Amino acid sequence: MATLQQVVADIKSLKIQGAQATAEAALLAWDAAKDKKLASKLLKTARPTEPMLFNAIAAAEKGADPKKLIVKFKSDKEKIYKFGANLIKNNSTVFTHCHSSTVVGILKEAKKQGKKFTVNNTETRPMFQGRITASDLAKAGIKVNHYVDSAALQAMKSADIFLIGADWISPKGVANKIGTEMFAEDAYERKIPVYCCSHSWKFSKDNITIEQRPAKEVWRNAPKNVMVKNPAFEMAEAKYVKGVISEVGVLNFKDFVKREVARHGRL
């Protein structure tokens, strides 16, 4: 098993990525750590935009069994796949941005159901996470049109639905990879429904700071006086998001938030 320090380093470097994968790795590291207080501090600060990690560690601190939580998360994800696949129509085009294992799982499930559809996805610079999405879908026999980021609006024109993952769901909207907000706004204007595909444990009322990634990811040796800006995420406003596909079903955004605010009040 990886050490606590190794897990923290892997989360920071994005070697471990995806909200659920990050939460699960953190739970295992926390469970194995002798100093739980130190483990909680290091894991919660490893990536400042992962509410599922925060919520999972908080639950473990209150006595939840980390291994049972991981089993629950995996079971819940299968439910999300089925709920989401029901929204994919035959002979449709799905637009997605960056990489979400939940979105990929939904599309694979739709494929298993015998539905025929095409996916338009973005490369997602500077780390090219969109290539992971395209590769995963292609291996599953799903046709993918892979677009450079600057052609994303062209890709949107033929889309019937826009599926996004989430790093954080707040009452104000959905935080996802940079670029999501402008794509969601464009989809809204075109009357293309936008659905957030996420476990409910990614909800948080806290005001989470958007992570600024290292400039070297964009331009390793930028000229003097060139200040590289590399925000990792941004918030797509709630008005652009039609609904949330989670383990509890498909809810419109307002109803999902009401449920989570009430649930978090009871935690």
Q: Computed over its alpha carbons, how large is the radius of gyration of the chain?
A: 18
Name residue 80's amino acid. Answer: I
Annotated catalytic residues are 98, 167
Residues 6+ apart with CB under 8 A from 114: none
Name residue 23's amino acid. Answer: A
Which residue, chain included where needed, has tokens 């999405």?
133
Phi, psi of 131 (to 5 degrees): -65, -30
Instruction: Rounding to the nearest 10 degrees, give the CA dihedral for residues 135, 50, 217, 210.
Output: 130
Cα–Cα distance between 219 and 221 in angstroms, integer?
A: 6
DSSP assignment string, 112-137: HTT--EEEEEE--TTTTHHHHHHHHH
